[in-house]
Amino acid sequence: MARLVVGGGCFWCIEAAMKDLRGVHGVRPGYAGGHVEHPTYEQVCAKRTGHAEVVEFDYDETIIDHATMLRVFFTAHDPTQRNRQGNDVGPQYRSIVFVDGDHERASLETVLGEVAEWYDEGIVTEIEDLNAHPFWAAEAVHHDYFANNPQNPYCGFVVAPKVNKVRAKHAALFER
């Protein structure tokens, strides 16, 4: 089982957009990239911890590879926006990928080259060493938030369009 930890705005969006990919076996929203142990949602949103909202995916590399996971991730958010995604503003919403070793770094660099062609603006995605930054799981209320809160206006206006965009572009990669 391989592991991918990425942040691209609100973790509700990234989780919902990617959780049903064929080969994904575990999905956990959380926090990484900061300096506070066991951060809370309130601390991260108050911008006191240095953490980004991230999602940790466990996936089977024999079914879906690292580069494909990254392509879907970059479809789910705009990597040209520094410390924000639309109206979600702050460093906790930054675009960030945590890599584990040279192979994942090379895979990311290849995908970033492809993604750069999708946008007129430059890519601002941060790249960090996965082993240098612990992952802290988010509170239970944030797990599978989109599925559990369809009545939430944010889910309807922000999360759903991202999920739809990803599923339209990568339909063949999803469980049927």
What is residue 140's predicted lDDT score, i.e. its pLDDT? 97
What is residue 175's predicted lDDT score, i.e. its pLDDT? 73
If phi over 0 gives left and psi between -120 and 50 gives alpha, with beta otherwise, what is residue 23?
left
Q: What CA–CA distances, in Å, run from 113 to 60, 73, 74, 97? A: 24, 14, 12, 15
Question: What are the 10-residue block averages of pLDDT along the chain, 176 residues in total?
Answer: 97 97 97 97 96 98 97 97 94 97 96 96 96 96 97 96 97 86
What is residue 176's predicted lDDT score, i.e. its pLDDT? 61
Catalytic residues, by residue number, are: 10
User: What are the tokens at 126?
Assistant: 């941060």
Give residue for tokens 């520094």. 82
For residues 23 and 79, give the distance between their C-alpha atoms in angstroms, rounded to a whole number: 24
User: 121-127: long-range contacts at Cβ-Cβ below 8 A with a sequence spacing of 24 or more?
Assistant: 121/80, 122/80, 123/79, 123/80, 123/95, 124/79, 124/80, 124/81, 124/82, 124/94, 124/95, 125/79, 125/95, 125/96, 125/97, 126/33, 126/94, 126/95, 126/96, 126/97, 127/96, 127/97, 127/99
CA torsion through residues 176, 77, 6, 119, sign? positive
